[in-house]
Amino acid sequence: MPPAAPKSMESRPALPPAEAARALLSFSNVTKRYPDGGREHVVLKGVSFELGHGRAVGLYGAPGSGKSTLLRLAAAIESPDDGSIRFDGVEMTGLSASERARLLRGPLALLSGGGWLASPGESVLDHVAMSIDRKSTRLNSS
């Protein structure tokens, strides 16, 4: 028996035409490398795709194929070595970490089955501070 068709989403308000035409997330020729001893390990090479507003996607692949790296790039936790990543029309690759956090704070969440891995030089406090609205919350490192 074939799987049931998805339920209609007719109750969702329509997006304005300009917003509906623009990709919510786009990768253009994105490459990410990591140091591996005295060599570089290329995890993603020339990845390009667009994800439209209101879409849901799943990501799967073999261990070590770059799934987590792609998600970390999409969530602006890391930056690509080459290429362009745009979120809702805004180029993210030139933004600072705090600017990326402000841009993505509300509309994007990264859920991972694994543990949190810090970026180089990032503390848990740094990670939490980027994940919440610092204007209304005071953090102490004690």
> How confident is the model over 25-39, as pLDDT tens digits?
999 999 999 998 889
Structural element, H or E, at residue 102 = helix 97-104
> Tens of pLDDT along 12-28?
455 555 555 678 899 99
Are residues 33 and 78 in contact, defined by beta-carbon separation less than 8 angstroms?
Answer: no
Q: Which pTM value belongs to this model?
A: 0.63
What sign has the CA pseudo-torsion 66, 69, 57, 48? negative
Question: Two tokens at 26?
Answer: 């786009």
Mean of pLDDT values over 129-135: 55
Question: With 80 as the cut, is the pLDDT of residue 128 above it?
Answer: no
Higher-pLDDT residue of 125 and 10 is 125
Are residues 127 and 116 in contact, defined by beta-carbon separation less than 8 angstroms?
Answer: yes
**Tally of CB atoms within 10 A around 52:** 14
Higher-pLDDT residue of 97 and 43 is 43
Are residues 5 and 61 in contact, defined by beta-carbon separation less than 8 angstroms?
Answer: no
Question: Two tokens at 24?
Answer: 């919510």
Q: Identify the pLDDT of residue 43.
A: 94
Higher-pLDDT residue of 31 and 106 is 31
The band of 5, judged by pLDDT with boundaries at 50, 70 and 90, is very low
> Tens of pLDDT along 74-87?
888 888 999 999 98
What values do phi and psi take at 87, rounded to 5? -120, 120
CA–chain centroid gap for 24, Å, is: 11
The residues near 24 (Cβ < 8 Å, ≥ 6 apart) are: 51, 52, 53, 55, 87, 88
Q: Which range has the worst mean pLDDT, 1-5, 7-11, 67-71, 90-94?
A: 7-11
The residues near 104 (Cβ < 8 Å, ≥ 6 apart) are: 75, 76, 87
